[in-house]
Structure 1
């Protein structure tokens, strides 16, 4: 799971070092919102085209006319204005307006979903970070100290082998819990990065 989150084609056998990294700081709109904005812009452009088609544009004509009877040549001109009585492109305008309203509604929905996803991701990062800190600062040191005392008591004959094995098992379980917590933190940070990703590429 960690390899997939990091985009690695090789399995990750172990992780070491400081895993309590702050979440990435990415400024900009999530990719889903940028796509929704592009769809809305396209719908706005389509509506503008339909409104333009509804405009009554006059046409001006100019030409030369030869009069056979007199042999004269005259310059003639004319102006024509289209008068669409029954069709003012109302259907196209209505469809374009409906498409724009749909694009705006989808954009609003994408904004709500993106905000919820980012909030959930940040909450998961915070929760897993607190879990890692608690294990590193409290549970692991306490388990290590308990194991040290158990080994000392066993060497001095004041503890049984079973008691020593139980303490060792508790310490191993605490280390495993820390590994799981670090993995969960890394995955939560990867999800947060995806939630706020802008889709831009940087070198």
Structure 2
């Protein structure tokens, strides 16, 4: 195999690789937004949250209801007397001291907390889908390099056999080339299996039934770089769903405590009645008011419990804020480290390796170096590209982790 045929074989191998994922028409290509849409639509946990929110919405409407009035009718007759009478009363309980408003506020904040918890779960699902999607793309690119490495090892083996037959190298060099081919073959097979495993994880996230158990070709994308750390920290309280849920739970606990404190005062009952004296044939209009006697402070325990829950929710909110702030700082530091590492490979290592290979190729054409030195230069270039893929994958995962702390950010460009 001459050099032109060798590089032609590499090109064929490089562009034929996507057939491992199955033959799909162009129309069946899957983009990241579509994968996220499928994942959110098919996730059973989000469906459970939707039902929970509906329950809390009904609870809010229940809290807003007024107590029903009470209608009473009575007939009084005293034996031997002429003062028999019939009466009709309409009575209504009054909610005093803001009890109803506190109950409505409690129910509203509970619903808001459930909504934010659902959004937090949604962000987690988005993060997993983005990460799985990107891992499939990286596995495919890495498998291409493995196939290229295998072709290179086979070419080294071919040259080693020719040199051995010409008694220009030892049998040990030939055995070493055989071992290299076998190792590269195992690596290439592992690359194919890694594609299948990555596709399986992606299908698990977006719903295997939605894709009929098969993964289409994926539309490549690159994650968007996050904003500055100061900007992210300032946005965290307003845009992080978990923090918003904690704030809603704290407000709900405060409303529940206020409701318990308002319960210290019993609800009076007012009434309006009409009394008809049957013997005399006249009507009397009567009004009444009733108030339970506060002999037993039955709401004292509820008030103490409400205060404890409120303090607990405040502490949990502060703890979560510190935890997320620390997580964001650590994630941002990791991102910057991975960004620097990826930039080193992209801007220095890869160009240097490519330039070295070009020079080695030119030297080989003029007969200055042996063919094995040219192949070794090509091997170093492949290893540098593989290291760049590893750095890009770590960089993307760090970007996705930062992204998952906030409201949905555009990730495809």
**Ranges of 4+ aligned residues in structure 1 off by more than 6 Å:** 15-18, 67-72
Q: Residues 31 and 198 of structure 1 are in contact (CA less than 8 Å); yes or no, is this contact kept in structure 2?
A: no
> Deviation string for 1:45-103 (max 9, x for gaps)?
21122122112444444434566898775444444433312315100111111111111
Q: Which runs of 5+ in 1 are unaligned?
A: none
Residue 10 and residue 182 in structure 1: after superposition, are their counterparts in 2 closer, same or farther (change >3 A)? closer
The alignment partner of 2:354 has SS state of helix
1:112-140 deviations in whole A, cap 9, x for unaligned? Answer: 12212222222222222212221121111
1:154 aligns with 2:154: no
Task: Report the 3-state secondary structure (helix = DSSP H, G, I; strand = E; otherwise coil) of the residue aligned with 1:63.
Answer: strand
The structural deviation recorded for 1:32 is 0.9
Deviation of residue 155 (structure 1)? 2.8
Which residue is 1:169 aligned to? 379
**Aligned with residue 273 of structure 2, among 38, 60, 63:** 63
> Cα distance 1:135–1:19, how it changes in 2: closer, same or farther (>3 A)?
farther
Q: Distance in 2 between matches of 1:107 and 1:3?
A: 25
TM-score by length of 1: 0.78
2:310 matched to which residue of 1?
100
- Residue equivalent to 1:117: 327
Match of 1:5 in 2: 130
Is 1:188 equivalent to 2:398 in the alignment? Answer: yes
User: 3-state SS of the aligned residue for 1:14?
Assistant: helix
* Matched pairs, number: 198
Does residue 131 in structure 1 map to residue 341 in structure 2?
A: yes
Aligned to 1:84: 294
Change (3 A) 1:70 1:19: closer
1:52 is aligned, of 244, 247, 262, to 262
Match in the other structure for 2:353: 143
Separation (CA, whole Å) in 1 of partners of 2:135 and 2:386: 22
State the Cα deviation string for residues 27-58 of structure 1 (Å, max 9, x = none). 54211112212211221221122122112444
Cα drift, residue 160 of structure 1: 3.0
**Hey, what's the Cα distance between the residues in 2 that align with 1:22 and 1:137?**
18
2:198 is matched with which residue?
Answer: none
Name stretches of at least 5 consecutive residues in structure 2 with no aligned partner.
Answer: 1-126, 143-218
Alpha carbons of structure 1 residues 3 and 43: separation in structure 2 relative to 1, 3 Å: closer
Question: Is 1:22 equivalent to 2:221 in the alignment?
Answer: no
**Deviation larger for 130-139 or 67-76:** 67-76
Query: Structure 1 residues 70, 88: CA separation in 2 closer, same or farther (over 3 Å shift)?
Result: same
3-state secondary structure, aligned to 2:239: coil
Q: Is the partner of 2:247 in helix, strand or coil?
A: helix
Higher RCO structure (Cα 8 Å, ≥6 apart): 1
Contact 2:361 2:374 in 1 (8 A): yes
Range with greater deviation from structure 2 (138-147 or 149-158): 149-158
SS at 2:404's partner residue?
helix
